[in-house]
Amino acid sequence: MSVANVSPIATGAATEPPASSNAETKPDTAPAVEVSTAEAVKFDTVRAAFKSPEPEDVLQAIQDYFKTYPRGHFTAACENMRIQTLIRAGRIAEARTALDGIRKRSPKNSLLKELESALPSP
């Protein structure tokens, strides 16, 4: 597999932020997670940058997101896009380090295997 042609991996986050509703939540369902409009806009900026061929644009947008929302609703999606961007940019050592960080923080993360398989063999 060519590093330059890495396919996008599912981000693990909804592509649209959950809509707020004034309707009552059913007792047997969890309430919707509230995402601020500002956070959703910041994440939209990350997603738009991810489509850019310039890895530095993507990495800067992700860094800006994390500065404002270090434990935000879209953290996993941003980490995923960061690793994919590093791989596409050929910055494999950095991608492996970022993946190791996710593995330590969230060893049961459902995207670990997919991200690991996107990395070229050592």
Number of separate domains in the chain: 1
Tell me the average pLDDT of the chain. 80
Closest CA to 111 of 88, 89, 83, 91: 83
Question: What pLDDT is attached to residue 29?
Answer: 53
Q: Which residue stretches of 1-122 are H helix?
A: 37-50, 55-68, 75-88, 92-105, 112-118
Question: What pLDDT is attached to residue 122?
Answer: 75
| 10 within domain boundaries | no
Percent of the chain past pLDDT 90, that is, above it, reads 55
CA end-to-end distance (rounded Å), the chain: 13
List phi, psi (to 5°) of 18. -60, 140
| 113 within domain boundaries | yes
- pTM, two decimals, is 0.70
| 3 within domain boundaries | no
Helix (H, G, I), strand (E, B) or coil at 106: coil
Fill in the DSSP letter of residue 111: T
Q: Give the range of the structural domain holding residue 82, as residue numbers without chain letter.
A: 34-118
Confidence of residue 35 (pLDDT cuts 50, 70, 90): confident
| 42 within domain boundaries | yes
| 18 within domain boundaries | no
